[in-house]
């Protein structure tokens, strides 16, 4: 198998390599006849341009980096799926880069990543999407970036999110409509902006329906299963016991369910449990969790698509979109008795 380069194509087609390059890039000012001739040779020789050489000449890598520090493997996988879809459509590659938000080396870590991999752009996923230090750093370095599931919208960037506040409102309202009044809430990780958003939605639903907010019903979690266990313990020990628990994500909700089951409570008869995210576990356990589904793949795909457009044409407008979240009711919530 001989290597097929632009030179072989050029000589085979009887044109200069610059002309071949023009055809490759769909540039104007190539006669139809020449274009067709070259395209035919592409097929005949089964030519694929070398992205590395291209990258060198254009000072690009055709690689997008995806930064994350997220305990939920299913979330990460969904993010990757969406990002990959966008990359494949645009002949880009995706580089994944897990890292510590809290590590003091974060910025230098990212700086090194950018230097050594020459990424064309970065996708920030929670909790980085709203991490000001990082965003400011990227801005100052003029590194193109897109944010997924950020809470704060800015005017001059690419950001695709879903409505966490509204989702939390709806699921809380769902519980209220089932007759629940004492609804415990488990917060997420403080570094994630979703934590605050979901809490807001919970409170808004309460006040909309004239239920007084009770601080004692709120527990601090961090999105991990383990933190859910701790919070669940406190909540189940309360007197009077709340009739429902809304955990900020499904892992913590699963923890509540596990502890409740261990203590011989019937879910949802004795206590209703709701989660958030529609993680796989929500339907893998019994009873299945009532939860909120977000279009994670779609968010990420849009963000990456726009990011790639922006890299190709930096004049591109900012892009700010909010997609809808959806309530999914399963067996873990029921009418209060």
Partner DNA sequence: CCGCATTATGACACCGGTGTCAGGGTTGGA
Partner DNA sequence: TCCAACCCTGACACCGGTGTCATAATGCGG
Q: Which two tokens stand for residue 73?
A: 């493997």
Q: What is the 3-state secondary structure (H, E, C) of 271-290?
A: CEEECCECCCHHHHCCCCCE
Q: Does 320 bind DNA (CB under 7 A)?
A: no
Angle at 221 between CA 216 and CA 226, to 5 degrees: 125
Which of 57, 237, 313, 337 contacts DNA by CB under 7 A?
57
Tell me which residues touch its own copies (CB under 8 A).
1, 48, 50-53, 55-56, 61, 63, 73-74, 76-77, 80-81, 84, 91, 93-98, 112, 115-118, 141, 225, 251, 254-255, 257-259, 261-262, 280-281, 283-286
Residue 73 beta carbon to its own copies: minimum distance, rounded to whole angstroms: 4
User: Beta-strand (E) ranges in the chain?
Assistant: 63-68, 93-98, 121-124, 145-148, 158-162, 183-186, 218-219, 244-247, 272-274, 291-293, 319-323, 326-328
For its own copies, give the closer residue by CB, 146 or 256. Answer: 256
Q: Which letter does DSSP use for residue 152 in this model?
A: S
Interaction partner, residue 181 (DNA, its own copies, none; CB < 5-8 Å by kind): none
For DNA, give the closer residue by CB, 22 or 161. Answer: 22
User: Beta-strand (E) ranges in 177-323?
Assistant: 183-186, 218-219, 244-247, 272-274, 291-293, 319-323
Distance of CA 126 to the CA centre of its chain: 7
For its own copies, give the closer residue by CB, 177 or 284. Answer: 284
Q: Does 49 bind DNA (CB under 7 A)?
A: yes
Which of 36, 40, 44, 50 contacts DNA by CB under 7 A?
50
d(Cα 318, Cα 229) in Å, to the nearest integer? Answer: 42
Q: Which stretch in 26-34, 159-167, 294-302, 327-335 sits in contact with DNA by CB under 7 A?
A: 26-34
Which of 11, 40, 44, 53 contacts DNA by CB under 7 A?
53
d(Cα 198, Cα 196) in Å, to the nearest integer? Answer: 6
Interaction partner, residue 7 (its own copies, DNA, none; CB < 5-8 Å by kind): DNA
Q: Which two tokens stand for residue 212?
A: 């007084």
Residue 153 beta carbon to its own copies: minimum distance, rounded to whole angstroms: 29
- What residues make contact with DNA under the rule CB under 7 A? 3, 5-7, 14-22, 24-25, 28-31, 33-34, 49-50, 53-54, 56-59
């Amino acid at each position: 198998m001989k290597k097929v380069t632009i030179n072989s194509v050029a000589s085979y087609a009887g044109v200069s390599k610059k002309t071949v390059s023009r055809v490759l890039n769909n540039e104007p000012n190539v006669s139809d006849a020449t274009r067709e001739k070259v395209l035919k040779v592409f097929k005949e020789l089964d030519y694929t341009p070398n992205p590395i050489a291209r990258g060198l000449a254009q000072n690009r890598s055709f690689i997008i980096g995806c930064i994350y520090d997220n305990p939920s493997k299913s979330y990460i996988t969904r993010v990757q799926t969406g990002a990959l879809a966008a990359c494949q459509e645009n002949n880009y590659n995706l580089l994944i880069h897990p890292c510590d938000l809290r590590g003091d080396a974060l910025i230098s870590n990212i700086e090194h990543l950018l230097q050594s991999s020459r990424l064309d752009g970065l996708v920030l996923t929670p909790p980085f999407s709203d991490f000001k230090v990082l965003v400011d750093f990227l801005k100052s370095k003029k590194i193109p970036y897109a944010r997924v599931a950020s809470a704060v919208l800015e005017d001059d960037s690419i950001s695709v999110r879903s409505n966490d506040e509204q989702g939390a409102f709806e699921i809380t309202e769902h519980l209220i409509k089932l007759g629940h009044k004492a609804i415990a809430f488990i917060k997420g990780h403080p570094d994630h902006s979703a934590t605050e958003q979901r809490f807001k939605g919970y409170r808004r639903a309460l006040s909309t329906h004239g239920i007084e907010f009770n601080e004692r019903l709120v527990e601090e979690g961090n999105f991990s299963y383990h933190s859910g266990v701790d919070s669940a313990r406190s909540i189940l020990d309360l007197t009077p016991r709340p009739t429902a628990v809304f955990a900020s994500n499904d892992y913590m909700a699963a923890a509540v369910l596990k502890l409740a089951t261990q203590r011989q409570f019937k879910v949802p008869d004795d206590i209703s449990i709701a989660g958030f995210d529609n993680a796989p576990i929500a339907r893998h356990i019994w009873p299945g969790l009532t939860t909120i589904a977000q279009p994670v793949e779609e968010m990420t795909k849009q963000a990456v698509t726009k990011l790639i457009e922006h890299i190709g044409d930096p004049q591109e407008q900012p892009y700010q979109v909010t997609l809808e979240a959806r309530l999914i009711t399963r067996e873990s919530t029921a009418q209060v008795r």
